[in-house]
Amino acid sequence: MLEGKSSQAPQGIIIFWDEDVGVDWLPNYLVSSRLKFGESEQKGPIGPSFQTLYVQGPYLQDDRLWDYPFRCIYLQNPTIGICVHFQDKANNWVCERFGKIEESESLAEVERSIAQEFDLPLVGVLQEEQEAGEKGVEPTGAELPHPTIEGADPISKIKDLIGDGQEALALQLVRSLNDPEIYEALLSDCCEISDYDEDEGWI
């Protein structure tokens, strides 16, 4: 793996992430295990809790990411998360995640930085920019406010996403907010309360 800034836009971006113990062990592990992710690989940005690889010719199997090397890594290192952005055979950008990946503003900032550096329509980053553009607000990295009940009315946003058929994105938003009021509001739409019930109602 070569070091330094890539002059060519990558066809695959791998972000190894571990906010618990870091990933300083990763380079030696990849050398000793001889795992390969594509035709060529180059080191990308690194930080206290993450390391990235830029890949040319990512290995695919039946137009899907060849997941064997990623499963090897997270099965032996259960605290790591791996986020992989790659181009499929139709040159569409796709994202797959392995291991312990949780919603993180720091991880999102890494993805935004890479997308801006190479002008890439990365999944998730593009969605975020489109939503910000609709509101007339430019995303500003770490300064981007986290949605709250008082500010962005996430209940309405979640219902809109579900109505638009974007259930996965709605679920991510619910999990990231982790607010009992949101659960209560969403469940109220699918509950029926009976007045005649000794247990004070039923669903």
* 167-195 per-position pLDDT tens digit: 777 777 777 677 788 778 878 766 555 55
Q: What is the pLDDT of residue 52?
A: 96
Nearest partner of 85 among 49, 110, 61, judged by Cα: 110
For 102-147, the pLDDT digits (tens) are 767 788 889 999 999 999 888 766 455 555 555 555 555 444 444 4
pLDDT, tens digit, 9 for 90 and up, residues 53-86: 999 999 998 888 999 999 999 899 989 999 999 9
DSSP the chain: -B-S--SS--SEEEEEE-TTT-STTHHHHHHHHT---EEEEEEEEE-SSEEEEEEEEE-EETTEE--HHHHHHHHHSTT-EEEEEEE-TTS-EEEEEEES----HHHHHHHHHHHHHHT---TTHHHHHHHHHHTT----GGGSPPP-TTTT-HHHHHHHHHHTT-HHHHHHHHHHH--HHHHHHHHHTT----SS-TTS---
